[in-house]
């Protein structure tokens, strides 16, 4: 039972982690009947402090010798990739179809490739732009079911897509920063640091909006659901996914990640009575095919520090 690149157990862990991400909608959406998106996200990060504080304390030596670029990257990852991305993601659930929000997270690799090329000062070839065009067509279909002109689309659907894509942009970007700028920091320590750094920003926004009482009420009245939200699609999914990813070829991981949208579609249909249209299904297939194609390009001619094309919450 070896832990080799592309081995069964690595692929299995990626699939399990991706499946846990798929539970996000059924856990998060019901909380929005009682709490604001900000309150849910702050409560989630408060609970995860039980992990983030020990992780940072134990791994504090990894931060020695940090210069301004490393601290800036860590701050962007904590504030953007943890606090703001999760807030946009949750707000999208409050506005529109949670399954659409989930499916649009497959755009994360597109943003990751673009930012990686920018940081490494590499030119993106025509293959990327062809894949990008197909992916954006797919994302448009996922968001709006057809190719009607944007000006004719309902405002709620447009806002849902904008919030979901904003979260995808921040999560994709934070992944690249973590791999390119903070690649020597152990994953467990980096995860703890990003969660911990998000807390002051979220606390400041909560205090400014005067919603601290709502956070306390939510923790008191729905502790079980909040704990499950923090642990299943949050911490446990991340740890399993990245442990598996370290022993999985990018092409295999891209296939295993289909467990993420597949689980979300089934659970959201069964528990939230939310489905997708044939046009949205076609859009997702286009989007996924484009990501698979880009993963193939990445595997054929990777740069020394090119990121794995990954999708998920962070």
How many structural domains does the chain have?
1
Residue 129 inside a domain? The answer is: yes
Residue 110 inside a domain? The answer is: yes
Residues 6+ apart with CB under 8 A from 202: 38, 41, 42, 45, 83, 87
Residue 308 inside a domain? The answer is: no
Residues 6+ apart with CB under 8 A from 114: 124
Residue 34 inside a domain? The answer is: yes
Nearest to 109 by CA among 272, 291, 270: 291
pLDDT digits (tens, 9 = 90+) for 4-30: 444 678 889 989 999 999 999 999 999
Percent with pLDDT over 90 in the chain: 56
Q: How is residue 128 written in tokens? A: 């990327």
pLDDT band per the 50, 70, 90 thresholds, residue 178? confident
Residue 312 inside a domain? The answer is: no
92 lies in which domain range?
8-300
- Kindly report the CA angle at 276 between 273 and 277, in degrees rounded to 5? 130
Residue 207 inside a domain? The answer is: yes
Residues 6+ apart with CB under 8 A from 166: 85, 88
Residue 140 inside a domain? The answer is: yes
How far, in whole angstroms, is CA 54 from its chain's centroid? 23
Residue 306 inside a domain? The answer is: no
Contact indicator for 41, 94 with CB cutoff of 8 Å: no
pLDDT digits (tens, 9 = 90+) for 38-88: 999 999 999 999 999 999 999 999 999 899 989 999 999 999 999 999 999
Contact indicator for 193, 74 with CB cutoff of 8 Å: yes
**Reported pTM:** 0.89
């Amino acid at each position: 039972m070896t832990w080799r690149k592309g081995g069964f157990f690595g692929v299995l862990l990626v699939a399990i982690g991706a499946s846990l991400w798929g539970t996000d909608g059924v856990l998060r959406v019901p909380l929005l009947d009682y709490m604001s998106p900000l309150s849910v996200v702050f409560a989630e990060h408060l609970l995860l402090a039980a992990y983030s504080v020990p992780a940072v304390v134990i791994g504090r030596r990894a931060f020695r010798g940090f210069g301004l670029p490393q601290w800036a990257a860590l701050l962007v990852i904590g504030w953007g990739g943890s606090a703001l991305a999760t807030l946009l993601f949750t707000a999208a659930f409050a506005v529109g179809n949670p399954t659409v929000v989930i499916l649009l997270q497959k755009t994360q690799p597109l943003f990751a490739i673009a930012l990686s090329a920018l940081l490494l000062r590499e030119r993106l070839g025509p293959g990327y732009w062809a894949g990008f065009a197909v992916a954006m067509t797919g994302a448009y279909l996922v968001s709006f079911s057809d190719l009607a002109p944007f000006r004719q689309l309902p405002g709620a659907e447009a806002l849902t897509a904008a919030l979901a894509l904003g979260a995808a942009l921040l999560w994709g970007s934070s992944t690249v920063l973590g791999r390119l700028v903070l690649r020597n920091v152990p994953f467990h320590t980096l995860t703890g640091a990003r969660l911990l750094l998000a807390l002051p920003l979220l606390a400041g926004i909560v205090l400014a909006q005067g919603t601290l009482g709502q956070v306390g009420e939510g923790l008191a009245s729905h502790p079980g659901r909040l704990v499950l939200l923090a642990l299943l699609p949050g911490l446990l999914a991340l740890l399993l996914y990245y442990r598996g990813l370290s022993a999985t070829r990018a092409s295999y991981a891209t296939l295993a990640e289909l467990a993420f949208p597949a689980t979300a579609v089934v659970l959201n249909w069964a528990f939230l009575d939310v489905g997708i249209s044939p046009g949205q299904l076609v859009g997702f297939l286009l989007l996924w095919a484009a990501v698979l194609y880009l993963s193939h390009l990445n595997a054929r001619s990777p740069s020394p520090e090119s990121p794995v094309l990954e999708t998920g919450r962070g």
